[in-house]
Amino acid sequence: MGYLLHQLVSESAARYPEKEAIAFQDETMTYAELERESNKLSHSLLRIGVVRGERVGIHLHRSISSIVGALGILKAGATYVPIDPLCPPHRLGYIVNKCGTRVLITSHEKLPNIEQGFSAGSPLKTIVVMNGLDAAPGSFVSTEIIDWKKLRETAREDAPHVNAIDADLAYILFTSGSTGNPKGVMLSHLNSLTFVNSAHDFFQITAADRFSNICPLHFDMSVFDLFVAFKAGATVVVIPEVSAKFPVKLAESIETNKITVWNSVPSALSLLATYKNLHHHDLSSLRLILFAGEMFPLKYLRRLQEIIPRSRYCNMYGQTEANSSTSYWVDHLPPEARGSLPIGRPLPNFDVFALDESGREVTEPGREGELYVRSLTVAAGYWGEPEKTENAFVGNPLRPDLNEKVYRTGDLVHLDAEGNYVFVGRKDHMIKSRGYRIEIGEIETVLCDHPKVKNAVVIPVPDELIGNRIVAVVELSESGMIDNEDILRYCASKLPRYMMPEAVRFCESLPVTSSGKVDRNKLSDLKEASFSA
């Protein structure tokens, strides 16, 4: 049995060399080819000078190349750092600098974005362009740009020998941070494999399964799609980013690719359920539909269950810091069901508990507590953020004698009569939108950085389809010389698309507390007025 994430591919390549590992639009790649291509990339990275433990960036749209990229990095003993392909240059530059990334894998369309995010003193030395270069490789400042198509011609096909161990970091996933910059969750091979093995067995995945992959590489749900499938020797059908916006295309993807295992945020499934002619498609190949990241509105779930009655449905719960931790089967939604689904019980090999304000474990319905996760899946912390790490990864309050770390989720839960955990809310100002977690403070920091903004507050407006819509309320430092477009353009230069406010409201003066901070308790009046347009 392998102890490193990429060994899952090597093992399946030995067992099922000719089986389809990945399908993307008109392209497919067998397990033997995936093994060979990723080996070649890892040799090339080693030749470039990548060393064990180094953080190599991936700035690519969802494709076969992005998967080969991740595997090639792992096989070189390095850590992959996926960076949203649509992220603004400023954010890209921040992540590259933060991780000390010397090598970045990308496509030629992304070069202008990278150049814009490049600042003096950037650690970036080499850019590997996966889809080839139209012109001769150029460079900017001291960065070398390499054409992978040329490099691969002479690269070795066998697996490189790198002395990696399961405690080494496999990937770092950047997620919203409350103080204005994203924070990188560090996950080791062991963290990830512990989850992958548990999920593989729990959902009885086989080589005959065909997975959808609609979650981007920088989103932790992609780990399930890719590595659980690779462990089983199953096929991953990569759904193009553009198709994911169109219900008709989603239905066609499921039908023509005979997808058996679907995994996405509920909003993608809600979108599918809004398609009126869904019953014209044969979606009976689906046997397992997993959703995670936010609440699934029951009316859409109900509609899907009417159209795809034979599939099983499972509500998954977990945070990037601990991988998916609990699950709740919801195969037959009772007609009288209202409100939200429970997040359920721990998956195998997970210990999950909730502590109330006095530190007492919640063991019966009626009391509320903060959820903690104890498992080998729990991350090593946040990259380069010792203080944030210390606050979230704490000694086990129930067993101080074990001298171990558990993850403190910040999620408040209670137990229902059946012993399932039910999500109640957050201890802080984190919200979910389209399944992404967003620290309101990060958006507010960007707004307040605008030279003409005196103070700003972000109000989440609950939305059935996407969880929350984001409304910014801004107090200007000088009388109204700027409009909402000016503010939003500034946000777009700093924030990823999913964190962009949908609307900006102006306010003469925001209520503040005695310490000068915005008084959230007095914002309820604004809330009413703020989203009428």
Partner 1 sequence: MSILENIEKILLTEIAVGLADKKIDPEADLLEQGIIDSLGLMKLIDFLEKTFSIKISDEEIVPENFQCLNSMVNLVQQHL
Q: Is 93 helix (H, G, I), strand (E, B) or coil?
A: helix
**C-beta closer to partner 1: residue 97 or 484:** 484
Which window, 67-75, 243-251, 256-264, 338-346, contacts partner 1 (CB under 8 A)? 243-251
Which window, 161-169, 303-311, 378-386, 492-500, contacts partner 1 (CB under 8 A)? 492-500
With CB under 8 A as the contact rule, the residue among 18, 153, 387, 485 that binds partner 1 is 485
Least distance (Å) from partner 1 to the CB of residue 9? 29
Which window, 364-372, 406-414, 417-425, 491-499, contacts partner 1 (CB under 8 A)? 491-499
Taking alpha carbons only, the member of 225, 244, 246 closest to residue 234 is: 225
**C-beta closer to partner 1: residue 241 or 351:** 241
**C-beta closer to partner 1: residue 341 or 472:** 472
Report long-range pairs for 509-513 (Cβ below 8 Å, ≥24 apart).
509/475, 510/455, 510/456, 510/457, 510/473, 510/475, 512/455
Residue 500 in contact with partner 1, rule: CB under 8 A? yes
With CB under 8 A as the contact rule, the residue among 2, 119, 159, 246 that binds partner 1 is 246
CB 510 within 8 A of CB 499: no
CA 484, CA 490: separation in Å to the nearest integer? 10
Least distance (Å) from partner 1 to the CB of residue 526? 20
CA 420, CA 371: separation in Å to the nearest integer? 13
Helical pair 64-75 and 31-48, crossing angle rounded to 10 deg: 60
- The sign one gets for the Cα dihedral 243, 245, 247, 251 is positive
Residue 86 in contact with partner 1, rule: CB under 8 A? yes
Judged by CB under 8 A, the number of residues near partner 1 is 30
With CB under 8 A as the contact rule, the residue among 149, 245, 279, 299 that binds partner 1 is 245
**C-beta closer to partner 1: residue 267 or 455:** 267
Tokens coding 376:
């080998």
Residue 116 in contact with partner 1, rule: CB under 8 A? no
Residue 249 in contact with partner 1, rule: CB under 8 A? yes
**C-beta closer to partner 1: residue 68 or 504:** 504
Residue 484 in contact with partner 1, rule: CB under 8 A? yes
CA 111, CA 91: separation in Å to the nearest integer? 15
Least distance (Å) from partner 1 to the CB of residue 482? 12
Residue 307 in contact with partner 1, rule: CB under 8 A? no
Residue 90 in contact with partner 1, rule: CB under 8 A? no
Angle at 264 between CA 39 and CA 269, to 5 degrees: 145
**One-character DSSP codes across 53-71:** T-EEEEE--SSHHHHHHHH
For the segment 251-280, give every residue that binds partner 1 (CB under 8 A). Answer: 267-268, 271, 275-277
For the segment 213-232, give every residue that binds partner 1 (CB under 8 A). Answer: none
Least distance (Å) from partner 1 to the CB of residue 109? 9
How many CB atoms neighbour CB 418 within 10 A?
A: 10
For the segment 376-435, give every residue that binds partner 1 (CB under 8 A). Answer: 434
Least distance (Å) from partner 1 to the CB of residue 267? 7
Per-residue HEC secondary structure of 33-48 comes to HHHHHHHHHHHHHHHH
Radius of gyration of the chain (CA): 23
Place of tokens 């104890």: 374
With CB under 8 A as the contact rule, the residue among 466, 482, 510, 518 that binds partner 1 is 466
With CB under 8 A as the contact rule, the residue among 81, 288, 487, 510 that binds partner 1 is 487
Place of tokens 């929350």: 468
With CB under 8 A as the contact rule, the residue among 48, 111, 162, 248 that binds partner 1 is 248
Least distance (Å) from partner 1 to the CB of residue 213? 17
CA 410, CA 425: separation in Å to the nearest integer? 9
CB 285 within 8 A of CB 278: no
Least distance (Å) from partner 1 to the CB of residue 221? 16
CA 329, CA 16: separation in Å to the nearest integer? 31
With CB under 8 A as the contact rule, the residue among 72, 117, 216, 247 that binds partner 1 is 247
With CB under 8 A as the contact rule, the residue among 133, 465, 512, 526 that binds partner 1 is 465
Residue 131 in contact with partner 1, rule: CB under 8 A? no
Helix, strand, coil shares of the chain as percentages rounded to 5? 30, 30, 40
**One-character DSSP codes across 240-288:** PTTGGG-HHHHHHHHHHHT--EEEE-HHHHHHHHT-TTGGGS--TT--E
**C-beta closer to partner 1: residue 312 or 497:** 497
Q: How far is CA 136 from the centre of its chain?
A: 35
**C-beta closer to partner 1: residue 86 or 507:** 86
**C-beta closer to partner 1: residue 92 or 422:** 92
CA 470, CA 477: separation in Å to the nearest integer? 22
Least distance (Å) from partner 1 to the CB of residue 277? 6
Interface residues with partner 1 (CB under 8 A) are 86, 241-249, 267-268, 271, 275-277, 434, 465-466, 484-492, 497, 500
